[in-house]
Structures are given as structure tokens and as C-alpha cells.
Amino acid sequence: MTSRSAFALAGLSFFAACQSPPPKPTWHRDIAPLMEEKCGGCHSAGSIGPFSLTTHAEVMAVAESVRAAVTSRRMPPWPARRDCAEYAPDGSLTDEQIALITGWLDDGAMEGDPRDYQALEGPKTSLSRVDLTLPMVKPYTPKKMPDDYRCFVLDWPETEPKYITGFNLAPGVNAMVHHADVLYVPPEKAAEFRANDPNGDGWECYNPPILEGYWIGTFVPGSLGMDFPAGSGLKVEPGSKVFIQFHYNTAATNGPKPDLSKLELSLADKAKPGLVVALAKVSWLRERAMRIPAFEKDVMHRYEEDPTKIISVFNREFVDGLPLKAYATIIHMHEMGSKATFEIMRKDGTKECVNDIPKWEFHWQLPYSLKTPKTVYPGDQVAIECHWDNSQENQPYINGIQRVPRELNWGPNTDDEMCVAGVYFTH
Ligand code: HEC
């Protein structure tokens, strides 16, 4: 062999090395860190998911259903349109992450070397300090299966005004708490709410009192709570009550278990005022103007408002006519909802998407925290738009018989409807 052809051969093998495909994805290196982050909060021992997805063997046992769940985006539950706004935390999978999971399954779902495991980077949100723990008065065992909606009232123990600066709900039976909404009710309404729950047994109820009370936070499985943004807090007066609505689901626990959940809060004597405003049109409630006629496939109601004009009505620490920062939203509708949007309409006519739920999922009413807050200036408007499908095809089956559509309107029961956007504002 001449030196020249040896050189050419060396070149060839160098070329071949460059062309060799990247190493195939493995469970330990690529998939375990991703599933730990995006599935582990619900699919681990004792949590709400119907099975664990924490080991190679567990995932293999349900591999094809994992493929179907992630490619259809049914899992992880994240009904928001992903190109509307950037959220943090963001529970959804990117297109690349879905391709990584399906590619791994296609390539033989190799397990790989445990030493390759490295947790995904990025901050995890959680409550950083607990100053006050408020447990339920007594354990509650769900009476309805699989879904039991139950509300409880707790006493607020502080004797001076305090700001709640962070929130967490520690479920008693993790695998049974599908979600929980926590609010506080001001002193003037305290007696009325206490009358619903004199002994801590709670009562069946489908709605948090979003218009009488003030939102503190929403728990969804896997969440570890959060500090409120920008050092802000919700001012609570002595004599207030805390209200918790649980959605218990007994599918993952093989029947009802006694639950004793605890609310964990961080408190401060002073904070930048924050507030969750529940935006809904007054005439919907007062005049039952949210008519949803029977047999209609797409009924829409929309509410537009400049929140800088009315904010002081909700909380006297806020001043009308000043810009507001919006940090997070949650949209609330009932079972016949089909889609909803929340947007900011700028004075110059441009629109900014804040939250868009193209296919409403009653069971996954998630809070969405904006990665960067959006400022609402005087003259801008915020708009919530809700759609309902009240056609025959969309009616629920009750004891095997499909319900006949009837006119729906605003109301507190699951077979009434609502359309509310909760928004966390500071100045
Ligand atoms: C917020 C909680 C939560 C997260 C996060 C989550 N799941 Fe689920 N998952 C559930 C629940 C609850 C069910 C039971 C069915 C239901 O309620 O929709 C379920 C059901 C499933 C099923 C059964 C089939 C189906 O589609 O219903 C699969 C497969 C699945 N999840 C895979 C995943 C994977 C993979 C991830 C992460 C990429 C994930 N899930 C993230 C809560 C969650």
C-alpha cells in the first residue's frame, strides 16, 4: 500500500466516524429525567396517576399507551395552547420532547447505564418558607365515587392584618386530591360561610366563592406550592375565614380514604399588595344574562373591561388609573364549556394572548403563570371569552340515558355554567 492510499483510507475512516449516528436515546440518560420532571408529580407511588412511571420496567409495561398519551397531548394534562404565551412552570412537552420519547420507543427503548442519569436543569417552584399551617378540622372520607366535590371552612387565627406571601397545599392522601381551590372570605362574610360548615364535616359544593371571596391559590397534583411574585402578598384581615374546595377522585386509591390535608402559608406584616381579581360580567350573575340556548353547538359570551378603572373596588390598597401587572391566570367554566380565551386588547388595537384553552377540559382547570408578567395600562382592556357546546351530541349520559339539552345560564351547580378569569395583579 502506498503512503498515499493509506492516507486516503485514514481519511475515509475519519469520515465514517463523523457519519456514525448519534448514540441511541436510553432510559437513564434521556427519558428518566424528562419523565421525572413532566410525569413524576402524578405518576409516582402514592400520587393521583393510575400507575407509576418512575422505572424502565414500569414504563415498558404501558409503553404503547404512553406513546398514545404523549403524541395526542392528552398527557401531561396541559389544555392551554402552547404558542399563546410562555409560562413558568410549563407542564407541557415540547415537540422535540415528544419526538425523543417516541424515537426512544421506536429504537427499542434501551435502558442504558444508570450513571448517565442527570436531572433536568431549571428552577423548581415551591413554597420557600412556612409560617402558618392550617390543617382541616378533621379527616374527611369521600362519600361519592369516583368524584366528590367538597368544601370546608377554616378559621383564620391571626389577630393582626397579615399578608399571605406564598401558598402550598399538602394533601393528606396525595393520590385522592385531584385539585383544590383555596380562597379567603372577608370578616363581613365569615358568619355566613361558617354556617355552611359548623363542625368541619364540609358540604357538597361545586364552586369556590370566586365573587364573595379572594383566591389564594390552586393545588394540582405534583405542585409544591409557590411564593407569590415580586415580594407581593394578599392582605387578610383578622376575623376572615379560609375556604377550601376539594375535588377528590378515588380512582387511584381503590376507593375512599380519610383525608386530612393541610394548608401551608408564608406570611408577612408588610408586602407589595397583590390581588386575584375574578373577572366576570356583573349582568351574567345579576340578570342571568349569560343565556346558553338548548341545542346550540357554539354559544359565545365575552366580557371586556379596563381593570385599571375598577381595581380599587376589589381592594382599597390598589389605586384606579395606574398600570397593573398581570402574573397568572386561571379560567373557570363548567362541564358544557368547549373553549375559552383570555387576552389583553391594547389601546392601539393590538391583541395579546394570555391564555387560550382550545378544548376545554373540566377536570384540568389549571393555573398558568406567565414567564414574564404583562403590564395592563389605563385604556387597555382585558377580555375573557367563553364558548359552550349545548348540542344534543355533547350532552352527558346520566344512568345510561343521554340528557336532552335545556337552556343553561350562570349558576353555582355543575349543571349550571360559569365564565370567570382569575388574574393575579400587582401595581
Ligand atoms: C397533573 C397530573 C398528571 C401528569 C403531570 C401526568 N399525568 Fe398521566 N394521568 C394522570 C391521571 C389523573 C390519569 C388518569 C386518567 C385521567 O384522569 O385523565 C393519567 C393517565 C395516564 C395514562 C393512561 C392512559 C390515558 O391516556 O388516560 C398514561 C399512559 C399517562 N397518564 C401517561 C403520562 C405521561 C407519559 C406523562 C408525562 C409525560 C403524564 N402522564 C403526566 C395524571 C397526570
To the nearest whole percent, how much of the chain has pLDDT over 70? 96
Site to probe by mutation for ligand 1, drawn from 39, 75, 120 as the one with most ligand atoms within 8 Å of Cβ, is 75
For ligand 1, atom 8: residue with the closest CA: 75
Return the pLDDT at 308.
98
For ligand 1, atom 36: residue with the closest CA: 39
Non-local (6+) Cβ contacts of 192 within 8 A are none
**For residue 208, pLDDT beyond 90:** no
Arithmetic mean of pLDDT over the chain: 93
Non-local (6+) Cβ contacts of 96 within 8 A are none
Between CA 308 and CA 314, with CA 312 as vertex, the angle to 5 degrees is 105
Ligand 1 centroid to Cα of residue 412, in Å, is 29
**For residue 391, pLDDT beyond 60:** yes
Return the pLDDT at 6.
45
Return the pLDDT at 55.
98
Q: Which of 12-21, 93-102, 151-160, 248-257 has the lowest mean pLDDT?
A: 12-21
Half-sphere exposure of 341 (CA within 13 A, CB side): 18
Residue 264 near residue 225 (C-beta atoms within 8 A): yes
The span from the CA of 151 to the CA of 28, in Å, is 42
Please indicate whether residue 74, judged by its CB atom, sits closer than 6 Å to ligand 1: yes
Non-local (6+) Cβ contacts of 412 within 8 A are 205, 206, 207
pLDDT digits (tens, 9 = 90+) for 121-168: 877 789 999 999 999 999 999 999 999 999 999 999 999 999 999 999
Please indicate whether residue 48, judged by its CB atom, sits closer than 6 Å to ligand 1: yes
Return the pLDDT at 19.
62
For ligand 1, atom 28: residue with the closest CA: 66
Residue 350 near residue 342 (C-beta atoms within 8 A): no
Site to probe by mutation for ligand 1, drawn from 34, 36, 43, 359 as the one with most ligand atoms within 8 Å of Cβ, is 43
Ligand 1 centroid to Cα of residue 86, in Å, is 22
Residue 102 near residue 109 (C-beta atoms within 8 A): no
pLDDT digits (tens, 9 = 90+) for 36-78: 999 999 999 999 999 999 999 999 999 999 999 999 999 999 9
Cell output for 313: 373596588
Ligand 1 centroid to Cα of residue 54, in Å, is 13
Please indicate whether residue 39, judged by its CB atom, sits closer than 6 Å to ligand 1: yes
The span from the CA of 371 to the CA of 87, in Å, is 5
Q: Which amino acid is at 191?
A: A
pLDDT digits (tens, 9 = 90+) for 175-196: 999 999 999 999 999 999 999 9
pLDDT digits (tens, 9 = 90+) for 351-367: 999 999 999 999 999 99
Measure CA 110 to chain center. Answer: 33
Return the pLDDT at 49.
94
The span from the CA of 54 to the CA of 46, in Å, is 12
Ligand 1 centroid to Cα of residue 14, in Å, is 46
Between CA 217 and CA 148, with CA 281 as vertex, the angle to 5 degrees is 45
**For residue 2, pLDDT beyond 80:** no
Could you identify the atom of ligand 1 that is nearest to the CA of residue 72?
26
The span from the CA of 371 to the CA of 123, in Å, is 12
Could you identify the atom of ligand 1 that is nearest to the CA of residue 40?
5
Please indicate whether residue 42, judged by its CB atom, sits closer than 6 Å to ligand 1: yes
The span from the CA of 376 to the CA of 378, in Å, is 7
Please indicate whether residue 33, judged by its CB atom, sits closer than 6 Å to ligand 1: no
**For residue 406, pLDDT beyond 60:** yes
pLDDT digits (tens, 9 = 90+) for 288-336: 999 999 999 999 999 999 999 999 999 999 999 999 999 999 999 999 9
Cell output for 303: 366580557
Please indicate whether residue 112, judged by its CB atom, sits closer than 6 Å to ligand 1: no
